[in-house]
Amino acid sequence: MTYGILKVATCQFAVGDNIRRNALQIQRFLHKAKKAGADIVHFPESAASGYVGTDFPNFEEFNWQLLKEETENIMTLAKQLRLWVVLGSTHRLTPDKNIRGQAPPNKPHNSLYLISPDGKIVDRYDKRFCTKGDLKYYTPGNHFANFTINGVKCSLLICFDLRFPELYRRLCKQGVNCIFQSFYNARQSKTTVHKYIMRQTMQCHAAANHFWISMVNASGYYSPYGSCFIWPDGRIARQLRANCAGMMVNTVNINEKFYDPSAPFRNMAIAGALGNGPKVINDPRSKNTKIL
């Protein structure tokens, strides 16, 4: 690989409650991504496990052992194919018992596993901002998951995180080049507003922070938008058709130049400046805001 260049396979499919079916789809995409020359393969939120509250009602009858086995199969295939994988799933936590042993178990994390070409989990991102609905089932996370491949510094985020620009500013300050953000905006009503705001919000984050973004969504009907790949100037370089399984391969090249008018002032703004002029302007016609 050339330094600063990363080939990204963004893969969407109809995530569901059947863990084996999910795993089969994931493995098929890994083979396809390898043939396409990808370095890293990116899957939707809860791709391996299915999404609680939508695909299944709760975790009471959830088959954790099967999820573990199928995830290990995916890890083994990642090693065979020498691929990085960003895998959406559910991460079980340790039961927390009080003195009487009556406390309920800790709720799982909504997570992205980062699997290396050695077939190992080298990090895990846990969704930091959960929706009100998520909080019924999940424990929010408290850390970033940053990693570097071939000189490209990357980080992982999940769905509702997009509502909090502070996360992106922090990652920008940390020198991140590329965001892998996984979504599950599927099995919704056609009246959902997400069709009009989700990609647009991510385009804003890309342009404001000069990020490359792989934005992957599930494709179960009805999905209000397909997955997309966003350039650092905010343009959607390529996108997949909604409600249809598919894969696209795009290239991150941090050596390439993009339109970035805020570059000279971005660090100033991150540091707290709310303008790029002097703090005090010693001119009466500037101070008086009620005259022509």
Contact 139, 109 (CB under 8 A): yes
Q: What pLDDT is stored for residue 95 in this prediction?
A: 72
Q: What pLDDT is stored for residue 94 in this prediction?
A: 87
d(CA 43, CA 12): 6
Helix, strand or coil, per DSSP, at residue 215? strand
Q: What pLDDT is stored for residue 104 in this prediction?
A: 62
Q: What pLDDT is stored for residue 279 in this prediction?
A: 87
- Kindly list the structural domains of the chain, giving each domain's residue range(s) and its CATH number in brackets, ordered by start: 5-260 (3.60.110.10)
d(CA 25, CA 215): 18
pTM: 0.95
CA atoms within 13 A on the CB side of 55: 27
Contact 183, 159 (CB under 8 A): yes
Q: In order along the chain (292 residues), what is the average pLDDT of each group of 10 residues?
A: 92 98 98 98 98 96 97 98 98 73 78 98 98 96 98 98 98 98 96 96 98 98 97 98 98 97 95 92 94 95
Q: What pLDDT is stored for residue 129 in this prediction?
A: 98
